[in-house]
Structures are given as structure tokens and as C-alpha cells.
Amino acid sequence: MRPNKIKQMWRDGKYVTLGWLSVSHGFTAEVMARQGFDALCVDLQHGTSEMNDVGPLLQAISQTDTAPVVRVAWNEPATIMKALDLGAYGIIVPLVNTAQEAAKAVAACRYPPVGIRSSGPVRAIHYGGADYVAKANDEIVVMAMIETKEGLENLDAICATPGLDAVYIGPADLSFALGLTPRGDNPDPLHLATCDKILKSAHKHGIKCVMHCASAAFAAGAVKRGFDMVMLTSDLSCMIAGARQQLDELKAKTS
């Protein structure tokens, strides 16, 4: 089976860079995949993509060695299994509140006898290789998002879930949970301390921790604090930032 680049890098003690696809277009996905991210995520929760977009987007990503990841909209086994069958090598599950919910997500990502995933890797076997079914349980990465009050209360139990590879911090919803205004790269001391608490719990239980960032500066700080993966930027954010930069420069040079 094609090795999972994310797991390879973690085994080598390296941090992983993650890009984000908010736009449901194959060319955008292809361009982002060619920029050098270690992994690239199709966002079904808040992006413009629907399930029928996932296959073509993963095909675009697979032209490169970038690892394909999908954030599902909900902890729903059928959607998780479908994304995996289409070739996702990582699954991000939002709003995980309990160890039971984390275990449900893990089970959907693993074939029996350790999980409940149905056998039918319609595209994944072509992308991953003929021995996909035999080795997928060891290669697929499953990440549970910690971003609610209940999730924080059950943090240690979630991190101790057998088969869970990582917890993923959703900073905006985490801000809600802390009574703060949602924003990217939140510098609030309470928010930073809570993120470090999540990181510490993850490492204590032998799993990885991921930080969703909005800038290289904040992502670099997260790497120095010990985070194992950083989501750096999205296609939409880059388009907005690039357009604004050019417009601002034009106005500055002509005013």
C-alpha cells in the first residue's frame, strides 16, 4: 500500500504542513497540491464542497505526493467510509465531545475486527495499491477535533481512545467554548493556555496534536510549542490576501 506521508513524517519526528481547500474546484486543488504542502484537506464542514466533489478533488491532489485529507461535516460513519473509499488518507472529525464519539469515528475508519468500516475501496485501492484492505488500518489517520466545553471536560478520555491518531484544535469554536470572540490565530492567554493543555494531554497519551492556523508566524510558534501538524492557509485565504495585496499596493503607488 502507498505509505501515508503524514505517518511517515511523524515517525521521523517531523511536523506536517497542512493546506486547506475551501473551494470546490479541481484546478484549485491541483494548484494547492503543487505548492509543497505535506497534506491537503478537502473541507466538507465549512467549505463549498459536497460529497460529490470529493472524488475529483482527491484525484487532483493525487497527481502529487501530497497526502489527501477530508474533514467530514459530522461524525457520521457512512460519510467517513465514503471519503475513505474515494481515497482519503486522513479523516478529520469535528465537534468530538466524548471518548465514545471518538471511538465511533475511529471505528468508521478501521476494517474489522477492530472497526466497522465496510469493504469497498472503489477508488482507494487504485490510489493506495492492491494490498489496501490488508494495510489500511495501519495507514489511515483519524483526527478528532477538540473545540467544545464538553470536549475539554473529556479531553483525557478522548486522547486515550484506542486507535485515535491525533486531536485537532478548532480555534474558532474553541473560542466559543472559552467565552471568547472567535478569530484566527487567537493570542488570548486563556486560548493559548487551553491549546497547550490539549497538546500536553495528547502527548501524554501518545498521540499527535494539530493546530489550525491562519498565518505562517502563528504556525511557526505552534511548531516551536510542540504541535505535530499545522494547518497553514487555505485556497480562499490566499486568493483574498493576494488580491488585497495587489490592490493595496496599486492604491499606495497611485495616491
For the chain, the domain total comes to 1
Q: Are 67 and 4 in contact (CB under 8 A)?
A: yes
**What is the reported pLDDT for 45?**
98
**What is the reported pLDDT for 182?**
95
**What is the reported pLDDT for 65?**
97
Q: Which residues participate in catalysis according to the annotation?
A: 46
Q: Give me the residue label for grid cell 485565504.
A: 237
CATH code of the domain covering residue 162 = 3.20.20.60
**What is the reported pLDDT for 101?**
98
**What is the reported pLDDT for 212?**
98
Domain that holds residue 171: 5-254
**What is the reported pLDDT for 60?**
98
Q: For the chain, which ranges sit under pLDDT 70?
A: none
Q: What is the pTM of this model?
A: 0.98
**What is the reported pLDDT for 160?**
98
**What is the reported pLDDT for 56?**
98
